[in-house]
Structure 1
């Protein structure tokens, strides 16, 4: 646990008592604060009370009297589409609003770890797609090269629930826009921006607000090194804002699919080869093509970002390459479930938006595509250029018929359920085909989350064996 510092003897309200909320309450108490806990869910309040936490309704009269700070869970909207009423009450009372990420950075900076020979460092990863894989890959590279490392944030453990870092330790954080948008302190040593595509736009009041939430990771604290994907205009704009001149080595630009030039520090992948250039000269190259845990151009982009973050900590290229080769990937993210009769079955349930699905559809030569669920605004018409490798689509869920109208001449079948889709795709697949779950939609019509949807796909594939 990372005890929260700076609130000793003071009252701090905690709103939202899920995983991060309860971890925050524990860390506040460990740091000497009094945690006042609340959640609209009776069950959540009962769990907190069973741990001995005081329940306190901030909407009660004088609910913010004597409260030094309100800490809210990431899922609670604080501005768009409408502010949560408790947050509005905090504004009226002049009580600062923060989240567990802000408390983490505030407390890490005040700890006694600066007395170590090598102070702990934090690598924070944000972006629309690939941030989980990139974060896990950075963690894997560091561990494989003997660096004490913990993975936390939007993946792994809650940030305040991890162990105090040891001498020379590194903490890798995956941070969503919900987390970066509100944190009052953001001071990573290395910050990574993977890419940007439309997502969570209602929560951020549009694309500009969404990008602004991501940009805060680089603007608030000023990382020592910034790794920025420049394949979209937002990334190029961010990279430009971070440099003093073209040779500024505090920035590492990253791309998948284009060669990056100029006198700065660049890492890019083309035709399956990762290259690192500094001051116009190539210093390393890695063949990614046969790495089973990193299929497709989108995973090559993840590999470039992870490689760049590891190089920012001075790890050697050959050590990074060995770790890349041993990486097996994450569940639900281009996860190879099984190969049977020359047919691969790949679970990319995390491809919940058009951009992520497009990357998955470009990773394999001949695809039996399982798609559908709760479609997002704009549908999937933008996927038309990526459907050339799709032999047939097997559509499931609420938006199955809407999707069928948007895929042009691509053969399709309305399957409704995962069970039917997998069985149909398996029956029609030929050697060399890939049965790919890349839904391009949310899961909430049939499953509580993308993980459960991916588990359902895996279960149906296992039945085939």
Structure 2
């Protein structure tokens, strides 16, 4: 655990007692602060009280008297579409608002680092799609290379639940826009921006606010090195803002859309081959085509980001290449769950928006596509750009008929996962892929995308 520094003997309010909130309360107590906790869920309050934490309604009058700061869990809105009443009350009382990420960055370093030969480093990964895979891939490469590494944030352990940093160790954080938007302290050594596509627009007041939340990691974080995906205008703009000159190798640009040229530091993938160029000369190359854990151009972008990050941390190209080949992939992200009679079954339940679903579809040539769920803002028209890969779409969800009507592909309304899998398996022939890439949220039928992916895998396995 990372004890929170700077609040010894002070009251700190904690709003939201899920995984991050309860861990935050423990870390505050470990730093000799006095956590005052609240959650609207009685069960969550009972769990906190069972650990000896004080719970009191932070919405009552005078709740923020003598409170030093308010720590908010990621899912609680603080600005758009409107502030949570407790957050509004804290701001009205002049109480600063922060989150566990901000507490981590202000608390991770300490005087004990003066005795280390190589101080710990922090890598932070953000973006719309691919950040979980990129973070996990960086962690995997470092571990395979014999470096002490921890994975935390939106993936792995809670950020304050990790172990203190050791000599030469690396902490890899996956950070969402909810986390980067609010954190009062952001000081990664290496910051990674994968890409940007519309998502969480209501939470951020539009696309500009969404990008601004991501940009804070770089503009306010001041990383020593920034790895930036430049295939969207926002990424190209961000790289241009950070670089002092074309030769500035503190910015590493990555792409899967084109060959990058110039005197700086670039990593790009074309036709399945990753290339690294520095000062106009090639410094490394990897054939990504046979790496099963990283299918498709979107995963090649993740590989470029992870490669660039690990190069910035001092790893040699050959070590990174060997580790890429042993990467097993993440559950629910282009995860191959079975291969039988020439048919490949792929679980990409994490493809919860249109952009990520398009990337998943483009990774395979002959696809029987299971899609549908709770449709997000922006419509589904962009999905039709990948329709040439789709043999047939099997649509699930409570609004399956309406979802199907927006697709150009041949469709079958199935509603349930069980029916969709059965129909797709009956139709599939050797050389084809049955792909779950919903392009929608899961909450109309499932608690989360993990549960949806597990249902898909179970339905497949019971029929093989």
Question: Structure 1-normalised TM-score?
Answer: 0.99
Q: CA deviation at 1:221?
A: 2.1
Instruction: Name the SS for the 1:32 alignment partner.
Output: coil
2:435 matches 1:440: no
Match of 2:417 in 1: 418
What is the match of residue 84 of structure 2?
A: 84
Q: Alpha-carbon deviation of 1:122? A: 0.2
Deviation at residue 411 of structure 1 after TM alignment = 1.2
Per the alignment, in what secondary structure is the counterpart of residue 109 of structure 1?
coil
The residue aligned with 2:340 is 340
How far has the Cα of 1:377 moved from its partner? 1.7
Alpha-carbon offset, residue 55 of structure 1 = 1.1
Question: What value does the CA root-mean-square deviation take over the aligned residues?
Answer: 0.8
* Unpaired segments ≥5 residues, structure 1: none
Q: Deviations over 1:303-354 (max 9, x none)?
A: 0000000000010000000000000100000000000100000000000000
User: What's 1:145 paired with?
Assistant: 145
Whole-angstrom CA distance in 2 between matches of 1:79 and 1:98: 13
Inter-CA distance 242–28: structure 2 relative to 1 (3 Å threshold): same
- For residue 363 of structure 2, what is the aligned residue in structure 1? 363
Q: What is the CA distance between 1:62 and its match in structure 2? A: 1.4
SS in 2 for 1:336: strand
1:381, CA displacement in angstroms? 1.3
Counterpart for residue 201 of structure 1? 201
- Asked if structure 2 preserves the Cα contact closer than 8 Å seen for 1:29 and 1:35, the reply is yes
Match of 1:268 in 2: 268
1:36 partnered with 2:36: yes
Misfit runs of 4+, over 3 Å: none
Equivalent pair of 1:5/1:110 in contact (CA under 8 Å): no
- Whole-angstrom CA distance in 2 between matches of 1:208 and 1:169: 35
Q: CA deviation at 1:111?
A: 5.1
Partners of 2:214 and 2:452 in 1: how far apart?
27
SS in structure 2 of the partner of residue 181 of structure 1: helix
Contact 1:125 1:175 in 2 (8 A): yes
2: CA distance between counterparts of 1:185 and 1:198?
26
State how far apart, in whole Å, the 2-side matches of 1:369 and 1:455 are: 17
Separation in structure 2 between the aligned mates of residue 220 and residue 45 of structure 1, nearest angstrom: 34
Matching of residues 310-389 of structure 1 within 5 Å: 310-389=310-389
**Unaligned segments of structure 2, at least 5 residues:** none
TM-score (norm 2): 0.99
Deviation digits for residues 204-245 of structure 1 (CA, Å, limit 9, x no counterpart): 000000000000000112000000000000000000000110
1:114-136 Cα distance to aligned partner (Å, 9 max, x none): 43111000000000000000000
Distance apart, 1:110 and its partner CA: 4.0
2:407 paired residue number? 407
In structure 2, the residue matched to 1:131 is: 131
Is residue 2:428 matched to residue 1:429? yes
Residue aligned with 2:136, SS:
helix
Whether the 8 Å contact between 1:380 and 1:406 is mirrored in structure 2 is: yes
In the alignment, what sits opposite 2:281?
281
Q: 1:157 to 1:111 in 2, by over 3 A?
A: farther
In 2, Cα distance between equivalents of 1:393 and 1:330: 24
Would the aligned equivalents of 1:392 and 1:412 in 2 still touch at CA under 8 Å? yes
Quote how far apart the aligned CAs of 1:385 are.
1.5
> Which residue of 2 is the match for residue 23 of structure 1?
23
Q: Report deviation, 1:380.
A: 1.2
For residues 424 and 111 of structure 1, the distance between their equivalents in structure 2, rounded to whole angstroms, comes to: 62
Aligned-pair distance for 1:398?
A: 2.2
